Amino acid sequence: MSRIVLKAILGFVMRVLYRPKVEGMERIPATGPVILAGNHVTFIDSLFLGLVVKRPVYFIGKDEYVTGKGLKGRLMAWFFTSTGMIPVDRDGGHGGVAALMTGRRVLEEGKVFGIYPEGTRSPDGRLYRGRTGIARLTLMTGAPVVPFAMVGTDKVQPGGKGRPRIAPVTVRFGEALDFSRYDGMDRDRYVLRAVTDEVMSDVMELSGQEYVDMYATKARAA
């Protein structure tokens, strides 16, 4: 119920202010498990994705967003969980495995799972190399991958911080990708890289971003 109420209120405000343009919505299956994989340029990407997609979309998020103390902490926890975030401790030694298993559970329940293959927000607006977790998920579950691109959200919240500004936003969805030809090969690193690169290639075409063949975390550290 809280998810419905929040989407109705927040959705109304965001539609009035930003009037997001959506392209290719019909490419998202109406039922069954599906992975939405896209670029990540700012914090509010997930809000726009959850707003425009008719089905509920679930994401992995840092558990620190829901563990705050006091009224502020409770409000933050309510907000993030109501937007579809599933908290996971990603900083621990098994953070990657926990995130992967959580995504698998969501898909096996026939739901929509949103993922940013870059693993973190782009430090400079370019598109970076994808992590192979996206490939493991689609090969383990058989769920199709629908690539998407956020265009303009970097103008709404430059640098991923500060008060959002008013700017045009477009969300583009590409054709669903079926990787059933690789069934049973979810441990083959060459297959995992090939699947991931194919997804990122479609995201790059949809977003128009310059591609950088290195991980965003390394670029951020540098």
Using the predicted structure, report yes or no on whether residue 37 has a pLDDT greater than 80. yes
121: left (phi over 0), alpha (psi -120 to 50) or beta: beta
User: Which tokens is 113 given?
Assistant: 């799972």
- Mean pLDDT for the stretch of residues 65-72: 72
Using the predicted structure, report yes or no on whether residue 78 has a pLDDT greater than 80. no
Alpha helix stretches (DSSP H) within 121-188: 133-141, 153-156
Q: Is residue 14 part of a domain?
A: no
Domain residue limits at 171: 22-61+90-220
Instruction: Please check whether residue 3 is in contact with residue 51, taking contact to mean a CB–CB distance below 8 angstroms.
Output: no
Q: Is residue 196 part of a domain?
A: yes
Q: In 3-state terms, what secondary structure has residue 1?
A: coil
Q: How confident is the model at residue 77 (pLDDT cuts 50, 70, 90)?
A: confident
Residue 210 is classified by DSSP as P
Using the predicted structure, report yes or no on whether residue 161 has a pLDDT greater than 70. no
Q: Is residue 169 part of a domain?
A: yes
* Alpha carbon distance 13, 33 (integer Å): 29
Residue with the bigger pLDDT between 89 and 55: it is 55
* Alpha carbon distance 57, 191 (integer Å): 27
> Looking at 39-53, 90-104, 165-179, which range is the least confident one?
90-104
> Of 138, 169, 185, 131, which Cα lies nearest the Cα of 15?
169
Using the predicted structure, report yes or no on whether residue 93 has a pLDDT greater than 60. no
Q: Is residue 190 part of a domain?
A: yes
Q: Is residue 193 part of a domain?
A: yes
pTM: predicted TM-score of the whole model, two decimal places: 0.90
Using the predicted structure, report yes or no on whether residue 71 has a pLDDT greater than 90. no
Q: Is residue 116 part of a domain?
A: yes
Q: Is residue 16 part of a domain?
A: no
> Of 20, 14, 6, which Cα lies nearest the Cα of 173?
20
> Looking at 97-101, 135-139, 144-148, 169-173, which range is the least confident one?
97-101
Q: What is the DSSP string of 24-49?
A: -GGGS-SSS-EEEEE---STTHHHHH
Q: Is residue 168 part of a domain?
A: yes
- Mean pLDDT for the stretch of residues 36-64: 90
Domains: count for the chain? 1
Q: What percentage of the chain's residues is helix, strand, coil (to nearest 5)? A: 45, 15, 35
